[in-house]
Amino acid sequence: MATAETLLKQFNNIKTLPHIAIRLSKMISDDTCTMEEFEEVIRLDPTLVVRLLRLVNSAYYSLRFKVKTISESIVFIGVDSLRNMVVVEALKGIFKLSKNEEIFSKKRLWLHCATVSICSQMIAERLFGLNSENVFLCGILHDIGMIVENQVVPELFCQTCKIYEPGLAPITQYETEIIGTNHCAIGCLLAQEWKLSSEVQKGIREHHKNLDPVDPSSIAGILQIAEYLVARLDYTALPGMQVRLSASLTDHVRSKIDEYRTLSVDLPGEIQKAREIYDLDLE
């Protein structure tokens, strides 16, 4: 039986994630890094340079002048937005179609993660007035462990997907029985490696603990609510996957039902906006 540590080590040995993305993510968590150091690393990735300059000069920022340098771009968008853009850019390559697409769809999973991240961001901002950058990051990464399993132990992961019966038991239970670990544990370790905040790590680790008491305003609580809402729109990681809420989260949603209804109506428009900002499309 595998452990989260052994699977992640094998995943890292395959060098699936771009080393520049990993390096930048760690630099952003280091307060001592200078703008010159960021610029030195970013210029090594021409695609990232183009994405950064395109973003800062887009209608979203509506600047009166054109930004032409990497350092100026970082100043305008901020390091948190830079980190999210870097992570999205790094993940897109490993969410492309695979040979087991009929059993496990990477594209479906990407759409789920993207939708959850956007919905989480909306909940954080609208319901709780919180800074949403870490919430977005947690949403886009929360199921990355499934990609690791599919990459490192594809036969066991496909077996898990084949026998999974929605509503009978959490997918994590099937993973643990067949693989020896689950995507929540693996994703949490990856977040630790990338030096992401303890709240992001906790959100990833606990997003399938749906019946445990949780603070609605925490990243874990927001992520669970977002998963519940997007599941009702059929944006699930696996077909038919069901999401339940704890009593505390259910009470919260009921107490704010009008806000959540409005949020659900606005979600498609926010998805389109996020596609333009973060270039979420896989094609």
pLDDT average per 10 residues of sequence, the chain (283 residues): 88 70 80 86 81 81 86 86 81 72 86 92 95 89 94 94 91 96 96 88 93 93 96 91 92 97 92 73 59
Q: What is the pLDDT of residue 39?
A: 87
Residue 132: CB partners within 8 Å, gap ≥ 6?
120, 121, 122, 124, 125
Q: Which of 95, 121, 153 is the last residue of a domain?
A: 95
Report phi then psi at 22, rounded to 5.
-65, -45
Residue 203 belongs to a domain: yes
Q: What is the pLDDT of residue 87?
A: 81
Overall domain count for the chain:
2
Residue 2 belongs to a domain: no
Q: Which amino acid is at 156?
A: L
154 and 58 within one domain = no
260 and 196 within one domain = yes
- Using an 8 Å Cβ cutoff, are 88 and 99 in contact? no
- pTM reported for the whole predicted model: 0.83
269 and 135 within one domain = yes
The single residue listed with the structure tokens 């697409």 is 101
Q: What is the pLDDT of residue 17?
A: 62
Q: Which amino acid is at 54?
A: R
